[in-house]
């Protein structure tokens, strides 16, 4: 199996192009052990970027991530997020410290604003800068910000990423957001890359998957990963799904595959407001 390809963040940090999501992990105590095993298997396979948020399970996902990375924290690039309702100066710092406690670590590598709320972006960025100075976070970024929101970030403030909904059924970002981020050399992080599973029964996807002897999830991920500067963070709560997703990195789609997928999931021809989940 080839090494996991990396994507370079504006800080120069190199992170795996394929990471692991955690939304809804930690919700069901009966599934906890398997979820921890799945995340650890992903780490073993080089999917060392883990995405979580204070919102997920009201902290339960962060606690589960803390358990999964115990003893191997330095091998992991941890991403978490502050809720917009906490994103004022004091609230951001307090929320980060609470996340650190749940994660059982003294550093979040990348801390994101989960989506834009009523707090001015400038205020949240100031709080992020303070967290960088005190060493609580390595860098900061944003999520669910469209191109016009990015333009409202304070002068000189460059996020490490914009984490947005992007998959075959949500191609809007290709029109302007991905190109804009590319101009800024800010990698996009694609969330819900398999559309939370809803995409996986699609006929056109199945045809491509069958031709390669792969699964539809692997084709959907390989399609997102066709960009050099997009990171995908599927959530998989079983070891089998994690192993399958990891193998998507080795799948090379052909020009014919891309054409077939374009016919079934047409690329945007005009601006579409950013979808969110
Ligand atoms: P997703 O990754 O597109 O889909 C997750 C679903 O797909 C789960 O039901 C999972 O099942 C299933 N799955 C994964 N791999 C599979 C495979 N190989 N074969 C079949 N099914 C497979 O959706 P998501 O969880 O919404 O998005 C991923 C991550 O992005 C989240 O977990 C979260 O970290 C982040 N996110 C961020 C935002 C934001 O606003 N910033 C919003 C949504 C999500 P199992 O669990 O059974 O493996």
> pLDDT, tens digit, for every residue of 81-130?
999 999 999 999 999 999 999 999 999 999 999 999 999 999 999 999 99
Q: Which of 56, 111, 166, 191 is catalytic?
A: 56
Of the candidates 121, 120, 140, the residue with the CA atom closest to the CA atom of residue 130: 140
**Residue 22 CB less than 6 A away from ligand 1:** yes
CATH number corresponding to 6-197+230-237: 3.20.20.100
Question: What is the enclosing helix (H) or strand (E) of 230?
Answer: strand 230-232
Q: Is 277 helix (H, G, I), strand (E, B) or coil?
A: coil
For ligand 1, mutation pick of 32, 166, 194, 218 (most atoms within 8 Å of CB):
194
22: DSSP letter: -
What's the pLDDT score for residue 115? 98
**Residue 237 CB less than 6 A away from ligand 1:** yes
d(CA 100, CA 97): 5
d(CA 46, CA 83): 29
**Is 111 among the catalytic positions?**
no
Place of tokens 């302007």: 176
Residues in the chain with pLDDT values less than 70: 1-2
What's the pLDDT score for residue 3? 85
Residues 6+ apart with CB under 8 A from 159: 140, 141, 142, 145, 150, 153, 186
């Amino acid at each position: 199996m080839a090494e996991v390809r990396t994507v370079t963040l504006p800080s120069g940090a190199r992170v795996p192009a394929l990471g692991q999501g955690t939304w809804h992990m930690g919700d069901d105590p009966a599934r906890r052990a398997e979820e921890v095993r799945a995340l650890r298997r992903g780490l073993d396979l080089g999917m060392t970027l883990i995405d979580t948020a204070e919102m997920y399970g009201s902290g339960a996902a962060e606690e589960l991530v803390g358990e999964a990375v115990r003893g191997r924290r330095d091998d992991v690039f941890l991403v978490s997020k502050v809720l917009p309702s906490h994103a004022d100066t004091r609230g951001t710092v307090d929320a980060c410290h609470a996340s650190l406690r749940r994660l059982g670590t003294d550093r979040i590598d990348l801390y994101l604003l989960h989506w834009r709320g009523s707090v001015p972006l400038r205020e949240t960025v100031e709080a992020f800068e303070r967290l960088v100075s005190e060493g609580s976070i390595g860098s900061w970024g944003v999520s669910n910000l469209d191109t016009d929101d990015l333009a409202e970030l304070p002068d000189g403030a460059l996020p490490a990423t914009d984490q947005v909904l992007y998959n075959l059924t949500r191609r809007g970002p290709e029109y302007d957001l991905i190109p804009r981020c590319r101009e800024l050399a800010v990698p996009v992080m694609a969330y819900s890359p398999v559309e939370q599973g809803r995409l996986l029964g699609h006929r056109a996807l199945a045809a491509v998957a069958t031709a390669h002897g792969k699964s539809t999830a692997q084709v959907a991920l390989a399609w997102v990963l066709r960009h050099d500067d997009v990171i995908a963070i599927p959530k998989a709560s079983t070891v089998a799904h994690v192993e399958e997703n990891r193998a998507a990195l080795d799948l090379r789609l052909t020009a014919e595959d891309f054409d077939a997928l374009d016919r079934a999931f047409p690329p945007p021809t005009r601006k579409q407001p950013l979808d969110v989940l």
